[in-house]
Structure 1
């Protein structure tokens, strides 16, 4: 198994990165989420990898953090979701977004990934819900900027703001994420339901 590749980014095209490691080019499949955060061509890069081995092909899938890799492995443990499906899901949702969607039962958000139907998304939520802890959600463990996001417990104003956003047509995970962002930023305006709601709407618009 190849645990990671550490070298120079030689080329990036679509959802693939070619990493030059000591004169050998490794072709690594990446998600859109990872692609957006890659350095410029010629710069150093380290990708944590998963090797998919089939009778007709061997493919490397790469991620910038171990947490992304661990979540990818969690996704492909679900029946009906292979490496390409896991990559597709991580292309439209960050690991942190996925944690919210799974815990809140928002299979609709997950089904937006290419090739992931409604039934597959519902099965994913069902199979993984018990594997995601509240601590994982509140810690912002898989935040895209690598920083922890301090979020207080689910108090009444926060819940009311989420409910209001859902009533306006936003998905539960989307609404929860916006409210969490507002609370994480702090500020007096976010101390009551109305203040939280106004700031959360700005995040969503």
Structure 2
């Protein structure tokens, strides 16, 4: 309904703000990351918005960046993930970190957000993993060229995936090739380490 609002911050809280636009105050729900980046009261800000329509309420949800809005919009397409859960996740970690967690199958990081359990985290990974290119996500998150998979993968990769990469390296594969192959696999959270290694070898 509304792409964005540009107005004066009339009031700001940890999870919402009032934005005055043409003498009308709009109450907008926001994640903690946006709350931290709002200017002081009385100053102008632009918030990219999503309109949440429920049976008994219409709410505006705002983000300081379009990237956060896009991630929010993707998260709520996942079965069982509503606006509240998506906001909780974006308050806990930023969009870049969410993408890294998704492509590396990092259930632990996602499930630590308030209101999100292991099953919800697994569902997010399964439903959204194919939406991203792992190599591009990791390169963007670490600020290097897209042709490299960097140490960001080592930091975010879950234990089974990391062990599979080490095993592939022991077989003589280049580390970047091993990481790229492992991260391209789907549903790795349901696979044993041996299965991950075998599947990775088939696509190298």
TM-score by length of 1: 0.71
Separation (CA, whole Å) in 2 of partners of 1:110 and 1:77: 16
Separation (CA, whole Å) in 2 of partners of 1:69 and 1:126: 21
2:26 is aligned to: 26
Q: Secondary structure at the match of 1:36?
A: helix
1:138 is aligned to: 139
Gaps of 5+ in 1: 141-147, 166-170, 174-205
Q: Do the aligned partners of 2:101 and 2:109 also contact (CA within 8 Å) in 1? A: yes
Query: What does 1:55-134 correspond to in 2, within 5 Å?
Result: 55-133=55-133, 134=135
Q: Secondary structure at the match of 2:37?
A: coil
Q: Secondary structure at the match of 1:114?
A: coil
Separation (CA, whole Å) in 2 of partners of 1:139 and 1:14: 29
Shift of 1:113: 1.1
Shift of 1:154: 2.5
TM-score by length of 2: 0.71
2:148 is aligned to: 153
Q: Do the aligned partners of 2:7 and 2:44 also contact (CA within 8 Å) in 1? A: yes
Query: How far does the alpha carbon of each residue in 1:90-137 deviate from its partner, in whole angstroms, 9 at most, with x for none?
Result: 000100000110000001100111111110100101110110123243
Query: What does 1:168-183 correspond to in 2, within 5 Å?
Result: 172=157
Gaps of 5+ in 2: 159-204
Separation (CA, whole Å) in 1 of partners of 2:149 and 2:53: 43
Q: Larger Cα Rg: Structure 1 or Structure 2? A: 2
Q: Secondary structure at the match of 1:84?
A: helix
Separation (CA, whole Å) in 1 of partners of 2:149 and 2:110: 23
Runs of 4+ displaced beyond 3 Å: none
Separation (CA, whole Å) in 2 of partners of 1:130 and 1:38: 33
1:35 is aligned to: 35
CA RMSD, 1 decimal:
2.0
Shift of 1:149: 2.2
